[in-house]
C-alpha cells in the first residue's frame, strides 16, 4: 500500500462504499447504519474481508481501534445456517469487564438477525450461565478459566465452533491464562478459524500463533512509518472516564475559551447526543451531518464564523472538506481509531502559521492509542489534569480582573457617579466595589458546573517492548521495588476472586493487568499490589466502585511485616481447596 493510499484509508477519503464494500450481510449493514457508524476503521477495513474468506488472522491492535467489530461482524456472519443452537464462535478475553463489553457489541450488531451471545466469566454464579447456555447460543464470550469450567461440565459444546478469537492475548498471558488458552485451543481439534488480537506481540504470542494458526494474515494498525506533521499545534489530552466527558469538555472549553472549535465524534449518534448535551449545558453547539446539502453546511459554517455557534460537532466523514479559518481548537471527543486521522483532524487548525490547539479526551484504556499517535507525529501530547472547579473559578476571576482593569481607563466613568452618590452612607467603598464586581461577574455568565471530575494521571512512560520487563507474577518472587499495596475491604466472604480485583482496577484506573499484583485475598479483605507511583490514582479511581455487588473501602495497605497473622492465614488457607476460577497459576503461587 503506498503512503497516499494508506493515508486515504485512514481518513476515509476513498469513496469505496464503506462497510457494504467489505461484503457484510444487509442486516449487519443496517445495524451499523443504525449505530451511526459511517465507515470502517482501518483495522476493520483490513481484517473483515480476510475473515469472511475464512482465513486465520494475527492482528496487532489496541483498544479503541475498532477491533471488536473487526472480529464480531465476521463471527456473526457464521450464525445463519449454523446447525442447531450450538455456538459457532468462541471469544476469549482477559477480564469480566471485557467479556461484558464484547458481548454487548455482539448484541448490538447482531440483534436484527436474532443472534444469541452469552458472556461467561468467573465471579458470576455458574448456574445462571448454565441456563443461558442451555437455552441455545450462537456466540460465547468468556474468560479462559470459566470457559474451561464449562467445557469440563459439557455445557459448552465445541463441535460446531468455526471461529475462535483470542482478544487482548497479551493481557491474557500476563494474567496467567497461558495454559488455559492452550487447553482450549487443543480442545477444538477440527478445522476452524483462529483469530488472535494483541496490543503487543511478545514471543509467546508468536509461538501460539505458529502452533495453532495456519498461514495467518498479519495485520498491524500500529504503523510508525508514515510521515506526518502536526504543524504548529499545541497538543494535549485529558484522561477521563466516559461518563465524565461532557463535564470535562465543558470545563476545558471554559478555560480555553476557543474562538471556534470543531469537535470530532466517532458516530453520527454521538454527534447528535453531544450536540444536545452541550446545548443543554449552555454552549452554542451545532451538529454537522454528512447528509446536509451545501446550503445547509454553509449556514452552519457561517454561524461558526460569526460567533453564533461556538462548537461544531461532526464525524470525520461530515467534516470532510471543511475549511474554516476562524477555527482555533480541534477536540477529539474520543481518541481517533487511527493515528493518521488524528493528524488529518488537527490539520484543521494551526494553518498559515497561526496557533492552534488540539484537545483529546481519552478514556483510561485508550492511553496506548495516544502513544501510537505520538510515535507517528514525533510530537508529544501532554497529558493535562482536567481543570478543577477551583481552577475554573480562578480563571474566571482573572477574566473579571482584566475586564475591570480595562474599564478603569474609560473616559466616561464620571457618568456613573450618581449611582455611587446614591449609595453613599449605606456601605463603605470596599463593600460597594465588591458588590459591583459580583454583579458584573455574574452578568458575564460565569457559572461553574460543580461536578467533581475524577483525576487520572498519566500512565508512566513505558517501553514498547514491555515484555522484556520481568513480571512479578511470572517470576513468582518478591514484588518489585516499585510496588505499593492497596487494601480493599472485600474478601472471600464477599465472593471476591482475583479476576474481580484485576478487572475492576484495570478498568477504573487504566492500569494494565500486568501492572496489577501480587494479589492476596483473605476472608474479609484483599491486598493488591500496584505501581507505587500510581497508588493514589488507583485509590481515587476505585472510590465508588462496586465489586461483586458490594462497595468496599480502598486505601493504602500498611503491612505489619512478613510474619503478620494475616499473611500466615493467607498462606495456609487461601487457595487450598478451591480453584479461583481458572486463573489458578499466578495467584495460586504464594507470590510473597
Ligand atoms: P474497540 O476498539 O473495539 O474497543 O472500539 C472502540 C469504539 O469505537 C467502540 O465504542 C465502538 O463502538 C466504536 N466503533 C467501532 N467501529 C466503529 C466505526 N466503524 N465507526 C465508528 N465507531 C466505531
Ligand 1 site: residues with CB under 6 angstroms? 37, 40-41, 44, 63-69, 266-267
Instruction: Kindly tell me if the per-residue pLDDT of 581 is higher than 70.
Output: no
Give all domains of the chain, ordered by start, each with its CATH number.
Answer: 3-220 (3.40.50.300), 390-443 (no CATH), 474-575 (3.30.70.330)
For residue 592, name the pLDDT band (cuts at 50, 70, 90): very low
267 CA to middle of ligand 1, Å? 9
Q: Which atom of ligand 1 is nearest to the CA of 68?
A: 3
Kindly tell me the sign of the dihedral angle through the C-alpha atoms of 263, 266, 272, 273: negative
| pLDDT tens column, 514-524 | 788 788 888 88
- pTM for this entry: 0.61
Instruction: Kindly tell me if the per-residue pLDDT of 72 is higher than 50.
Output: yes
Spatial distance between the Cα atoms of 549 and 495, rounded to a whole number of angstroms: 10
44 CA to middle of ligand 1, Å? 10
Mean pLDDT for the stretch of residues 47-76: 94
Q: Is 441 exposed, middle or buried (0-12, 13-18, 19+ CB in 10 A)?
A: middle
274 CA to middle of ligand 1, Å? 17
Q: Which of 268, 360, 370 is nearest to 313 (CA)?
A: 268
Spatial distance between the Cα atoms of 233 and 500, rounded to a whole number of angstroms: 41
Report the range of poorest mean pLDDT among 177-186, 295-304, 342-351. 342-351
Instruction: Kindly tell me if the per-residue pLDDT of 463 is higher than 50.
Output: no
Peptide linkage before 391 cis (omega within 30 of 0): no
Inter-CA distances, 220 with 418, 419, 574, Å: 74, 71, 41
Instruction: Kindly tell me if the per-residue pLDDT of 58 is higher than 80.
Output: yes
Please provide the distance, in angstroms rounded to a whole number, between the alpha carbons at the two ends of the chain. 51
Q: In what order do the strands lie in the sheet with 526-531?
A: 519-521, 526-531, 483-488, 554-556
22 CA to middle of ligand 1, Å? 16
| pLDDT tens column, 152-172 | 999 999 999 999 999 999 989
Q: Count CB atoms within 10 A of the CB of residue 565.
A: 8
Which residue's C-alpha comes closest to atom 14 of ligand 1?
Answer: 66
371 CA to middle of ligand 1, Å? 18
The per-residue pLDDT for 108 is: 95
Inter-CA distances, 531 with 472, 485, 528, 537, 556, Å: 11, 8, 10, 10, 12
Q: Which atom of ligand 1 is nearest to the CA of 267?
A: 21
Instruction: Kindly tell me if the per-residue pLDDT of 458 is higher than 70.
Output: no
**Higher-scoring residue by pLDDT: 146, 559:** 146
Which residue's C-alpha comes closest to atom 8 of ligand 1?
Answer: 66
User: Whole-number mean pLDDT of the chain?
Assistant: 82
**Higher-scoring residue by pLDDT: 104, 256:** 104
The per-residue pLDDT for 240 is: 92
Amino acid at each position: 500500500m503506498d503512503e497516499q493510499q494508506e493515508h486515504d484509508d485512514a481518513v476515509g477519503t476513498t469513496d469505496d462504499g464503506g462497510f457494504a464494500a467489505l461484503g457484510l450481510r444487509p442486516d449487519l449493514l443496517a445495524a451499523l447504519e443504525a449505530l451511526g457508524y459511517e465507515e470502517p476503521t482501518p483495522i476493520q477495513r483490513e481484517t473483515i474481508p480476510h475473515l469472511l474468506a475464512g482465513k486465520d488472522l494475527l492482528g496487532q491492535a489496541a483498544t479503541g481501534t475498532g477491533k471488536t467489530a473487526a472480529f464480531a461482524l465476521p463471527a456473526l456472519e457464521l450464525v445463519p445456517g449454523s446447525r442447531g443452537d450450538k455456538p459457532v464462535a468462541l471469544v476469549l478475553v482477559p477480564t469480566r469487564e471485557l467479556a461484558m463489553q464484547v458481548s454487548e457489541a455482539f448484541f448490538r450488531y447482531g440483534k436484527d438477525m436474532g443472534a444469541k451471545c452469552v458472556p461467561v466469566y468467573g465471579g458470576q454464579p455458574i448456574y445462571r450461565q448454565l441456563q443461558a447456555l442451555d437455552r441455545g447460543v450462537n456466540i460465547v464470550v468468556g474468560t479462559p478459566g470459566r470457559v474451561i469450567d464449562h467445557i469440563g461440565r459439557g455445557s459448552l459444546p465445541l463441535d460446531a465452533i468455526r471461529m475462535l478469537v483470542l482478544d487482548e492475548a497479551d493481557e491474557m498471558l500476563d494474567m496467567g491464562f497461558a495454559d488455559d488458552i492452550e487447553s482450549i485451543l487443543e480442545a477444538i481439534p477440527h478445522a476452524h478459524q483462529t483469530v488472535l488480537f494483541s496490543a503487543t506481540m511478545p514471543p509467546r504470542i508468536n509461538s501460539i500463533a505458529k502452533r495453532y494458526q495456519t498461514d495467518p494474515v498479519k495485520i498491524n494498525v500500529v504503523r510508525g512509518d508514515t510521515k506526518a506533521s502536526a504543524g504548529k499545534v499545541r497538543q494535549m489530552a485529558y484522561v477521563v472516564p466516559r461518563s465524565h466527558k461532557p463535564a470535562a469538555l465543558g470545563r476545558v472549553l471554559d478555560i480555553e475559551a476557543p474562538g471556534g472549535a470543531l469537535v470530532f465524534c466517532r458516530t453520527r449518534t454521538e454527534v447528535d447526543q453531544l450536540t444536545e448535551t452541550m446545548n443543554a449545558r449552555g454552549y452554542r453547539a451545532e451538529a454537522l451531518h454528512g447528509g446536509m446539502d451545501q446550503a445547509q453546511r454553509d449556514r452552519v459554517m457561517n454561524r461558526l464564523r460569526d460567533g453564533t455557534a461556538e462548537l461544531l460537532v461532526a464525524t470525520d466523514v461530515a467534516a470532510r472538506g471543511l475549511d474554516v479559518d476562524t477555527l482555533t481548537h480541534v477536540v477529539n471527543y474520543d481518541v481517533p481509531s487511527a493515528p493518521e486521522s488524528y493528524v488529518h483532524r488537527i490539520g484543521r487548525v494551526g494553518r498559515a502559521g497561526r496557533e492552534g490547539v488540539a484537545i483529546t479526551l481519552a478514556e483510561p484504556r485508550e492511553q496506548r492509542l495516544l502513544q501510537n499517535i505520538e510515535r507517528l507525529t514525533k510530537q508529544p501530547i501532554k497529558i493535562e489534569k482536567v481543570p478543577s472547579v477551583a481552577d475554573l473559578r480562578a480563571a474566571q476571576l482573572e477574566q473579571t480582573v482584566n475586564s475591570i482593569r480595562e474599564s478603569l481607563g474609560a473616559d466616561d466613568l464620571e457618568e456613573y457617579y450618581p449611582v455611587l452618590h446614591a449609595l453613599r452612607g449605606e456601605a463603605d467603598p470596599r463593600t460597594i466595589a465588591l458588590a459591583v464586581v459580583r454583579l458584573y461577574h455574574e452578568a458575564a455568565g460565569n457559572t461553574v458546573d460543580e461536578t467533581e471530575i475524577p483525576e487520572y494521571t498519566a500512565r508512566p512512560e513505558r517501553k514498547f517492548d514491555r515484555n522484556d520487563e520481568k513480571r512479578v507474577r511470572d517470576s513468582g518472587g518478591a514484588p518489585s521495588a516499585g510496588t505499593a499495596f492497596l487494601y480493599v475491604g472485600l474478601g472471600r466472604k464477599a465472593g471476591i476472586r482475583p479476576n474481580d480485583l484485576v478487572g475492576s482496577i484495570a478498568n477504573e484506573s487504566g492500569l494494565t493487568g500486568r501492572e496489577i499484583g501480587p494479589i492476596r485475598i483473605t476472608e474479609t479483605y484483599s491486598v493488591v499490589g500496584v505501581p507505587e507511583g500510581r497508588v493514589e490514582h488507583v485509590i481515587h479511581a476505585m472510590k465508588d466502585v462496586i465489586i461483586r455487588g458490594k462497595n468496599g473501602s480502598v486505601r493504602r495497605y500498611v503491612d505489619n511485616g512478613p510474619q503478620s497473622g494475616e499473611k500466615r492465614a493467607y498462606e495456609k488457607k487461601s487457595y487450598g481447596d478451591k480453584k479461583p476460577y481458572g486463573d489458578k497459576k499466578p495467584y495460586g503461587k504464594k507470590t510473597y
